[in-house]
Structure formats: structure tokens, C-alpha cells
Structure 1
Amino acid sequence: MLLPILLLSAAGFTVLTTEFIIVGLLPAIARDLEVSVSQAGLLVTLFAFTVAALGPFLTAYFARFERKRLFIGILLMFAFANTVAALAPNIWLMAFARLLPALGLPVFWALASETAVNIVGPEYAGRAIAKIGFGIVCATVFGIPVGTLISDAWGWRSAFAILAVIALAKALLLWVYLPAVKGVKEGVTLRSQFGLLRSPLMIGHIVLSVLVFSGMFTAYTYLADILERLAGFDGTLVGWCLMGFGAVGLIGNSLGGRMVDRHPLIASMVFCAFMIGGMVALVPSIHSTLGLAAAMGVWGVTQAALFLVSHVRLMKAAPQAPAFAASLNIAGANLGIGLGALFGGHVIDTYGLGSLGFAGAGFILVSIILASLLMAMKPRAACA
């Protein structure tokens, strides 16, 4: 039972690293492709908006397919896309290289999560997805910062080339070791899955994910640029800072997996409240070693926790169609990522890098208010 989850977690590392590795590479990509950092940030928006727009439809359609072949096919597509990114001579081909994996990420993440829950049962959904989520945390602990270190040593193209090789290796591992897993039962139709969107409570949960991830990525998209330009760090030191940011996320992943099984919305509000503190304190503490470490530590713990909490929260809100509910969270989260990257670029151009933490905290504050309203709605929905 454990091996399939670990294999999916390892594949998830590659999938999520492909999405987020660009965060640490934005300054280098912008310089090489001769665009501004805020323009390069649109690559994050393109990826995220593609996932948001097409993720639920693709997940609902591909849910009927046998899982092993589907997951292997997705990893092969990621290998190809990362190869194209490594060779891209301009921003337009780079955009194409970011578009392809955006089609596969929501399908993999939603269906891998559902597979993990089916293995252990819904009462342990948070802990099962925490194991899958371990691959996500490792992507932030190792994937993103190591990508930054590789970029600083050998160029950003090398980071994508290595990621392509890793994707091929993970596809081979799944082919050898992952057992065949059937798709959804025939009674689960596209219409029945999209019927979830008639629920105001479900819509509220999706909007909550949009707000949370908008707040996160208003600032996180440009964290490497903040550390370079405001703290004066070189590329190597930025990579180690991102490594520390991700490493403390292991704590958040564990805490989030336990708290979300008990009280999903309370868990959301608690981690959001602490995230505001970390975001707001970052820039004022930028020249204090201890202050900067504390701010990034709090932010890193809460960010990893909210990745997991948001995902499980949607799946628990729709136990009759957990994979589709997961895809709705992925869509909402990526809509938030795209909006955050877009809004963050606007904040940089208008108010400067120093304002990003406060701008992101504004989204998070609104998400706390919404979560409290959803808690009030839940008893009424149950009575209805």
C-alpha cells in the first residue's frame, strides 16, 4: 500500500518542480531573453491560468482512463516540455514550453490524490495526501532552490534540461513498479461531477483557494528578486535561502495534514493568520539575519501547510467526487497563482518590491474573513 503512494509522491516532485522552478529562475530568464522581470513573471501567469481554465474539464475527462498509463504519459509530456524550455531562444517558445505541462499538472495532481485516498480511506485523507504532498514540499525544499543553484553555476537552461531527464526517469519507475489502477466507475459522469458547482458552499471553497493562492504568489513569485535586489544576495545565497524556505515547509506539511483532518476551515484561518505575519515582516527584516530567517520560516511553514489544507478542504467538501473536487481546488489555486503573479508585477512597477508583502497579506486577510463566513454557512447547508 505504501509503495504506490511513494512512487506518486516522487512523480509529484517532478510535476510540481516543473511548475514552480521558474520562481527562482525569473531574474536569469529575464536577462537572457531580454525582457523585464515582471514580463517574465507572465510565464507564471500563463501556466497558472491554463491550469485554472482547463484543469477541471481535463480531470473530469481523463478520470475514466487507467491510471498507470495516464501518469506515465503525463511525465513523458513533462520531459518534452522541459527539453523545449532548455532550448527556447525567445520568450514565445518559452511560453509554449510552459503551456504543455500546464495541461498535465491538474490531471496528475487530482487523480494521484484520489488514488492515495482510495488506498487508505477518506478518514485518513489528510495524512495520505500529506504523503503525496511530501513530493510537493520536496519540490520547494530541493527542486526550486537547487534549480536556482544550478542556474547560478551553469545557467538556467541546465536546470530545465536536468528536470527533463528526471521526468523520464520517473516515468520509467512508474512503468516498472506502479500497479495498474482503474479509472472512475462508469456511473460517475461529467454532468454529475460538474453538478458540484451548483452548491454555493462549494463555490465559496473555490473562491477561498483563489484568495489564498493570490496572496501567496503576489509575493512568492518574486521572492528571488526581493532577495537579490533588496537584500543584496547573489544567486548562490538566494538558492540557499529558498532551500531553507522549503525545508521548514516539511513542518507545515505535517501540521497541515493533521489539522485539516479535524477542522479544515479552522486550519485555513490559523495558517493564514500566521502567514500574514511572515509576509509583512519580511522586508522590514531584510537586513537582519535573525529577523529575515524568522519571517521566511513562518511564511515557509504556513505556505506548505496551506497547499495541503486547501487541497484536502475541497476534497472533504465533496466526498462523492473527490478527484473532481481536487481539480476545482487546483483550478482555483492556479487562478490565484496567475492573479498573484500578475498583481505582484503591477505592484513592483507601481510601488516597488518592498510593497509585495503587504499586498499579498491583503488577499490573505480577505481569505480569513471568507473562511469564517463559510463556517457559518456549513451548519445551514447541513440542515438544508
Structure 2
Amino acid sequence: MLAALTFNTAENLPVGLLKLISEDLRVSLSAIGLLVTGYGVTVAIASVPIAHVVRAVPRRHVLTGLLTALVMSSLVAALAPSYWLLLVARLLTALAQALFWAVMGPVAVGLFAPKIRGRVIGALSVAGSLALVFGVPAGTWLGQQSSWQVPIAMLAALGLVYLVTIAVLLPTSRPEEEPAAYATSPDAWRFGTVLAAGALSATGAFTGYTYIVTFLGDVSGFSPTRSAPCSWFSVSRAWPG
């Protein structure tokens, strides 16, 4: 759950740091917005191909590799002296997240009995939502009190903690040996419907809250110190969970 919270916070953190990054790197807000848009597009395009490539690799090795990528790319992003290096670091994090959610769900539910696996998936969803209602606002506030690099560096530190934890505690098993590896009665039509609905809802949500801090400051007149809690409330209302 905590690794999911960290990945989702890394994904959305620029939402609250748009102006800080824009002013520091001297690029436009729309260019900084690409740090979120490019991230989302990369995840959407890369998830299935990457999952196919590593389908036979033990999941503990995959997850430790993904968290290593999160730590390294976050450090590069925090130290990036230019916009383009920051964008590259973001895209590397996106490649890691593209596979993370494809692997994390089956691994998590496979650790529990079938009768409680629905609750496990619900808990993972809560972790993702907490990134929006806690992780991003907290990172925004920390960035305003220090610099935009600090909350990104904090993500690297958190990722390192979860990396060590998973490397030590998660059992090593091949994907085909996991209890949740295969569905009992898959339905391609229903899966496609859920996938399309998820894509539409995610597109609408991302479109709305990517520039919410900018809207609150430039249109609604909120001060920078108040934009973090306001964006917390607005995003939590826009993204159920």
C-alpha cells in the first residue's frame, strides 16, 4: 500500500509544484504540465508491452527493480538542472509505474485468502487515492516551504525504505505459481468495457486537476500558502476513493 501511495504521489506531485518548477527552470506552465501529461501517456502506452516482456520474471525481483528505478529517477529529478533532464527523469519513473500497477495487484491479492482479496484490492485503491488527498498536498506544502526539489527527494527516500522491505520480506515465486495469476472465467468484452470507462474517467480527472493550483491562484485569487489545502479538498472531491 505504501509503495502504491509513493508511486501515485510521484505521478501527480507536479500538479502542486507547477509554478515553483516553472519559475525555477524558466519554462512555461504548459511545458511543466507535460511532466504530468507525458507521464500519463507513457504509462498508458508502456504498461502492456513491459508486462509482457517480464511475464516470466519472479515478482519480487520485478518489484525491487521498479522501486530501484523510482529511487534513482526521483534523485535525478531532484537534482535536475534543466527542464529536459527533469522530463527524462519523469518518463523513467513513468516506465516503472507502468509495470508497477500491472504487477502489484496480483502480488498483493496472492498473499491473502480468496475470500478477502476484494478488500485487498480496495485497500490498494485507497492507497492510490491517498496520494491525491494527502501525498500531493503535503508535497506541495513542503515545496512551498523549501523548494520543489525537496518533496521529490523525499519520494526517493520513501522508495528506498519500501525497496528494502520488499526485497527482504516478499516471497520469491514465478508468476505462474502465484495464486492470483489467472482468472477463473475471464470475459474480454467486460474487461474492455471496464478499460474504456477507466480511460475516460482518468482523462477527465487529470484534465481537471493538473492545473488546479494555477486556477486557484490566477483565477480564484487564493494565496500560494492556501492553494495546497484548497487543491487537497478539490482533488479529493473530484477523485472518489
Q: TM-score range by the shorter chain?
A: 0.7 to 0.9
Cα distance between partner residues in 1 of 2:229 and 2:189:
43
CA deviation string 1:122-176 (max 9, x = no partner): 5544321121223222322321011111111111011111211111122122223
What is aligned with 1:293? none
Distance 1:126 1:23, change over 3 A: farther
Q: Could you say what the CA RMSD is over the residues aligned between the two structures, in angstroms? A: 2.3
Q: For the Cα contact (< 8 Å) 2:4–2:127, is it kept in 1?
A: yes
TM-score, normalised relative to structure 1: 0.57
- Give 1:103's match in structure 2, choosing from 74, 92, 95: 95
Cα distance between partner residues in 1 of 2:222 and 2:118:
37
Cα distance between partner residues in 1 of 2:109 and 2:158:
26
Does residue 183 of structure 1 match 2:174?
yes
Query: What are the within-5 Å matches in structure 2 for residues 199-210 of structure 1?
Result: 199-210=188-199
Distance 1:61 1:122, change over 3 A: farther
What is aligned with 1:171? 163
AA aligned to 1:145 is P
* Identity in percent: 32
AA aligned to 2:106 is E
Cα distance between partner residues in 2 of 1:126 and 1:106:
22
Give the Å deviation of 1:21.
0.9
Distance 1:133 1:201, change over 3 A: closer
Does residue 214 of structure 1 match 2:214?
no
Cα distance between partner residues in 2 of 1:129 and 1:221:
26
AA aligned to 2:173 is K
What is aligned with 1:143? 135
What is aligned with 1:237? 226
Cα distance between partner residues in 1 of 2:113 and 2:53:
24
Cα distance between partner residues in 1 of 2:45 and 2:137:
29
CA deviation string 1:57-100 (max 9, x = no partner): 11233232222222122111111111111111221111101011
Give the Å deviation of 1:179.
2.6
SS where residue 185 of structure 1 aligns? Answer: helix
Does residue 23 of structure 1 match 2:12?
no
Cα distance between partner residues in 1 of 2:238 and 2:99:
25
Point out the more displaced range, 112-121 or 151-160: 112-121
Give the Å deviation of 1:102.
0.9
Cα distance between partner residues in 2 of 1:43 and 1:122:
39
TM-score, normalised relative to structure 2: 0.88
Cα distance between partner residues in 2 of 1:89 and 1:226:
27
SS where residue 170 of structure 2 aligns? Answer: coil
Q: For the Cα contact (< 8 Å) 1:148–1:236, is it kept in 2?
A: no
Does residue 89 of structure 1 match 2:104?
no
Distance 1:126 1:220, change over 3 A: farther
SS where residue 27 of structure 2 aligns? Answer: coil
Cα distance between partner residues in 2 of 1:225 and 1:12:
26
More helix by share: 1
Structure 2 unmatched runs, 5+: none
- Give 2:33's match in structure 1, choosing from 41, 44, 58: 41
Q: For the Cα contact (< 8 Å) 2:133–2:236, is it kept in 1?
A: no
Following TM superposition, where does structure 1 have runs of at least 4 consecutive aligned residues deviating by more than 6 angstroms? Answer: none
Does residue 226 of structure 1 match 2:215?
yes
Cα distance between partner residues in 1 of 2:40 and 2:8:
12
Q: Relative contact order (alpha carbons < 8 A, sep ≥ 6): 1 or 2 greater?
A: 2
Does residue 70 of structure 1 match 2:62?
yes
What is aligned with 1:300? 236
Structure 1 unmatched runs, 5+: 1-8, 187-191, 246-295, 306-384
Distance 1:64 1:304, change over 3 A: farther
SS where residue 151 of structure 2 aligns? Answer: helix
Give the Å deviation of 1:184.
2.0
SS where residue 56 of structure 1 aligns? Answer: helix
CA deviation string 1:286-320 (max 9, x = no partner): xxxxxxxxxx3xx6245133xxxxxxxxxxxxxxx
